[in-house]
Chain A
Amino acid sequence: MPASPVIVALELGTAKVIALVGEMREDQHVMITGMGEHPSQGISKGQVVDIEAAGDAVRAALAAAEETAQVTIRQVVLAISGGHVRSDINRGVVPVRDKGEITRADMNAVMDVAKAVNLPTDREILHTICQHYCIDGQQRVVLPEGMEGARLELDMLVIHGLRSPMRNAIKAVEDIDIAVQDVVYAGLGSALSVLTPEQKKGGALVIDLGAGTSEYVAYAGGVIASAGALGVGGDHVTNDIALAFSIPERQAERCKCEHGGALLSLDGSDGKVAVAPGVGFGGRTLSRQVLLTVMHARMHETFSMIKQRLEADKVPVHLAAGVVLVGGGAHMEEIAELAADVFDLPCVVGKPREVSGLATATEGPEYAACTGLIQYACRRWQSKRPKPLGSLFRNLLKR
Chain B
Amino acid sequence: MEHNDILVIGIGGAGGRLVDALAARAPEAVRTAMIDTDAAALAASQAVSKLQIGSHVTNGQGTGGDAGLARRAATDDAEIIRGLFSDARLVVVLAGLGGGTGSAVTPEVIKAAGLSGTPTLCVATQPFSFEGAPRAALARAAVPEIREAADGLILIPNDKLFKSVGSDKVNEAFPAADAALGMSVWSLWQILTRPGYLNAGPADLAQVTKPERGIASLAWAEAHGRKRGASAVKQLLTHPMLDGGAALGECRSIMVSIVGGEDLTLKDLGDIMAPIKAACHERVVITLGTSIDPEWKARLLLTLIAARPGGWSGGVEMRPAKAQEPTDLPITENPAVVGRGGVQTTLQLEPAGRGRFANTDPTLLDGEDLDIPTYQRRGIKL
Interface set of A (CB-CB < 8 Å, partner B): 44-45, 49, 83, 230-232, 235-236, 238-240, 242-244, 249, 290, 293-294, 297-298, 300-301, 305
Contacts and interface: CB of A to CB of B under 8 A. Distances in A.
B382 A290 contact: yes
B363 to A, nearest CB: 4
Interface in B360-379: 360, 363, 365, 370-371, 373-376, 378
B239 to A, nearest CB: 43
B267 interface: no
Contacts, number: 60
Contacts of A238: 356
A142 to B, nearest CB: 33
Question: What size tier do the contact residues of chain B reach?
Answer: 10 to 19
A159 B378 CA distance: 31
Contact of A240 (B360, B363, B374): B374
B382 A239 contact: no
Contacts of A240: 373-375
A239 B355 contact: yes
B356 A242 contact: yes
Contact of A301 (B356, B360, B371, B374): B374
B91 to A, nearest CB: 19
Contacts of A44: 360
B356 A232 contact: no
Interface centre among B353, B356, B374, B378 (most CB of A within 10 A): B374
Given A232-B363, A243-B353, A305-B365, A294 B373 contact: yes
Interface of B: 353-357, 360, 363, 365, 370-371, 373-376, 378, 380, 382
Q: Per DSSP, are chain A's interface residues mostly helix, strand or loop, or mixed?
A: helix
A243 B355 CA distance: 7
10 contacts: A45-B357, A231-B363, A232-B370, A236-B357, A243-B355, A249-B355, A293-B375, A293-B380, A297-B375, A298-B374
Contacts of A293: 375, 380, 382
A83 B370 CA distance: 11
B333 to A, nearest CB: 35
Contacts of B356: 235, 238-239, 242, 249
Nearest to A232: B370
Nearest to A299: B374
Contacts of A239: 354-357, 371, 373
Nearest to A49: B360
Nearest to A242: B355
A236 B374 CA distance: 9
Nearest to B380: A297
A230 B365 contact: yes
A294 B370 contact: no
Contact of A236 (B365, B371, B382): B371
A339 to B, nearest CB: 16
A83 B378 CA distance: 22
Nearest to B361: A45
A236 B375 CA distance: 12
Contacts of B370: 230-232, 236
A297 B378 contact: yes
Given A45-B363, A230-B365, A231-B363, A243 B373 contact: yes
Given A235-B356, A242-B355, A249-B356, A298 B373 contact: yes
